[in-house]
């Protein structure tokens, strides 16, 4: 969360820049379909800072598009308030809002060439002709489409159409740019290229980006902050590192990367950590945030790359569990082990190929898994 303040000027000074670019305040959106009320967004609050690259991440149907469409003005919230730069715009139509949207399907004007597509917004805003020419030209340079001004959208590749859509929105210098899964239709290579391009363009123009995606790696690599959404609610709102390292909920732990879920009864609680009972020889220590009483069941998560695998019971203040290897997969840069615990849980372990290509254990071996207690998190 410190990242947002970074570009916002000296702390304590009430510059206009410190007014958040976008605020959603307890926003609810209900649809009526086939006589039934569907809550697409169930009460979402978030504050997006000026110049921030902010992602809405979550599985299909979790309400990302609906949230974004309320920011753009295509949908009116059933409840709650939308503010842009401190101004309540909850009932302001899209053409009166200073944000622009890049649609998933691009939604270019099929009857206009690239130039006219990009110039559309400026012309509606009655920007003088000379300035329209200059700004459209500049923008086409930024998105690398110089020389293709006369092309129609259908004469261009997906990646080029994508850049036209981006240019068409950015040329208006909106206070914020909304992108709804903008790279979803591109193949992997082009998508990775465009991710870098988008980051570069965002740095260059310094505009707030709100980026909707269901691709966790995309969100992790590009964003300053991420709101992980599930079923119409925000599960966690934090920077990528925090989201990955310290998932707040079971859902986040499961949705972002690979993670292991374990649960056990708290045997001893001392202030900031709890010792869980798993197998007789096992010892699992987990930091806790909320009050946990002895006898409570605690769920914890630990990432596969944080776990060490050994044939001997390790020494030291580590959490450790015993299990049987049920699968070993060689993946080049690392080996992946699946280890079955006595209680039935299965743990995935990634082991970097540091030394040579031999593995520590084979299928059927009994092994010890261990990790630093601070690498595991109790889930809410």
Ligand X SMILES: Nc1ncnc2c1ncn2[C@@H]1O[C@H](COP(=O)(O)OP(=O)(O)O)[C@@H](O)[C@H]1O
Write out the residues near another protein by the rule CB under 8 A: 72-74, 93-95, 100-101, 103, 105, 107-111, 120-121, 124-125, 168-169, 172
Region from 19-27, 32-40, 95-103, 134-142 binding ligand X, contact rule CB under 6 A: 32-40
The Cα 364–Cα 68 span in angstroms is 50
Which residues in 41-60 contact ligand X (CB under 6 A)? 58, 60
d(CA 251, CA 57): 12
**By three-state DSSP, how is residue 171 classified?**
coil
Q: How far apart are CA 363 and CA 55, in angstroms?
A: 41
Closest CB 64 distance from ligand X, rounded Å: 3
93 binds, among ligand X, another protein, Mg ion, none (CB under 5 to 8 A by kind): another protein
Q: Cβ 61 to ligand X, closest distance in Å?
A: 4
Tokens 């732990």 correspond to what residue? 253
Shortest distance, CB of residue 216 to ligand X, whole angstroms?
14
User: What tokens does 12 get?
Assistant: 């304590």
Asked if 91 interacts with ligand X (CB under 6 A), we say no
Compute how many other C-beta atoms are within 10 angstroms of the C-beta atom of residue 352: 9
Of 31 and 330, which has the nearer Cβ to ligand X?
31
Residue with tokens 């000296």: 10
Residue 65 or 100 with smaller CB distance to Mg ion = 65
Q: Name which of 44 and 341 has its Cβ closer to ligand X.
A: 44
Rounded to the nearest whole angstrom, what is the least distance from the CB of residue 74 to another protein in the complex? Answer: 6
Nearer to ligand X, 165 or 378 (CB): 165
Give the Cα separation of 345 and 336 in Å (integer).
16
Nearest residue (CB) to ligand X, 205 versus 233: 233
| Nearer CB in complex with Mg ion: 108/229 | 229
- Residue closer to another protein by CB (options 110, 280) is 110
Give the distance from CA 203 to its chain's centroid.
19
Of the residues 6, 15, 61, 86, which one makes contact with ligand X according to CB under 6 A: 61
CB closer to another protein out of 5 and 105? 105
Could you tell me how many helices (H) and strands (E) the chain has, helices first?
9, 20
Q: Does 230 bind Mg ion (CB under 5 A)?
A: no
| Of 121, 165, 157, 158, residue with least CA distance to 140 | 165
Closest to 212 in 3D by CA, of 31, 58, 29, 47: 58
Residues 6 or more apart in contact with residue 25 via CB below 8 angstroms: 45, 80, 81, 82, 83
Q: Is the dihedral of CA 343, 349, 354, 358 positive or negative?
A: positive
Q: Are residues 251 and 377 in contact, defined by beta-carbon separation less than 8 angstroms? A: no
Give the span between the Cα atoms of 341 and 281, in whole angstroms.
Answer: 12
Q: 44 or 266, CB closer to ligand X?
A: 44
| Binding-site partner at residue 33 among another protein, Mg ion, ligand X, none, CB < 5 to 8 Å by type | ligand X
Residues near Mg ion (CB under 5 A), total: 1
Residue written as token pair 């019971």: 313
Tell me how far, at minimum, the Cβ of 65 lies from Mg ion, in Å: 3
Pairwise CA distance, residues 276 & 295, whole Å: 9
Q: Does residue 65 belong to the site contacting ligand X (CB under 6 A)?
A: yes
| Burial class (CB within 10 angstroms; exposed 0-12, middle 13-18, buried 19+) of 295 | exposed
- Residue 66 binds what, of Mg ion, ligand X, another protein, none (CB under 5 to 8 Å, by partner type)? ligand X
The per-residue b/e assignment along 122-146, b for 16 or more CB within 10 angstroms, e otherwise, is beeeebeeeebeebbeebbebbebe
Q: Which does 61 bind (CB under 5 to 8 A by kind): Mg ion, another protein, ligand X, none?
A: ligand X
The reply to whether 74 sits near ligand X by the rule CB under 6 A is: no
The mark string for 39-78 relative to Mg ion (x by CB under 5 A, - otherwise) is: --------------------------x-------------
| Token pair 């009857």 in the structure block, residue | 111
Q: Could you list the residues that contact ligand X (CB under 6 A)?
A: 31, 33, 38, 40, 58, 60-66
């Amino acid at each position: 969360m410190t990242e947002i303040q970074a570009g916002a000027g000296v702390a304590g000074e009430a510059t206009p820049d410190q007014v958040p670019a976008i605020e959603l305040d307890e926003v609810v959106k209900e649809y009526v379909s086939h006589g039934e009320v569907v809550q697409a967004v169930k009460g979402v609050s978030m504050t997006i800072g000026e110049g921030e690259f902010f992602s809405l991440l979550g599985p299909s149907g979790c309400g990302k598009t609906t949230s974004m469409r309320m920011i753009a003005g295509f949908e009116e919230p059933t409840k709650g308030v939308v503010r842009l730069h401190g101004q309540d715009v909850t009932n302001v139509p899209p053409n009166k809002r200073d944000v622009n949207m890049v649609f998933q399907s691009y939604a270019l004007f099929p009857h206009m060439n690239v130039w006219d597509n990009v110039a559309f917004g400026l012309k509606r805003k009655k920007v003088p002709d000379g300035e329209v020419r200059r700004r459209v030209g500049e923008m086409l340079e930024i998105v690398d489409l110089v020389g293709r001004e006369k092309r129609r959208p259908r004469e261009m590749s997906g990646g080029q159409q994508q850049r036209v859509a981006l240019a068409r929105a950015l040329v208006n210098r909106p206070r914020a740019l909304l992108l709804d899964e903008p790279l979803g239709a591109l193949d992997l290579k082009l998508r990775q290229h465009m991710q870098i391009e988008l980051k570069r363009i965002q740095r260059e123009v310094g505009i707030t980006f709100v980026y909707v995606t269901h691709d966790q790696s995309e969100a992790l690599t590009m964003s300053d902050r991420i709101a992980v959404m599930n079923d119409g609610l925000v599960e966690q709102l934090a920077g990528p590192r925090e989201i990955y390292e310290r998932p707040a909920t079971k859902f986040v732990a499961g949705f972002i990367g690979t993670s292991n879920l374990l649960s056990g009864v708290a045997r001893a609680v001392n202030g900031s950590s709890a010792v869980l009972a798993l197998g007789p020889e096992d010892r699992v220590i987990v930091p806790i945030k909320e009050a946990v009483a002895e006898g409570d069941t605690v769920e914890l998560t630990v990432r596969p790359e944080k776990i060490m695998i050994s044939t001997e019971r390790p020494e030291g203040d580590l959490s450790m569990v015993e299990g049987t290897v049920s699968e070993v997969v060689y993946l080049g840069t690392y080996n992946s082990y699946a280890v079955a615990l006595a209680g039935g849980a299965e743990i995935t372990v990634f082991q970097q190929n540091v030394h040579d290509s031999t593995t520590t254990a084979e299928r059927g071996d009994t092994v010890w898994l261990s990790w630093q207690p601070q690498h595991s998190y109790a889930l809410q």
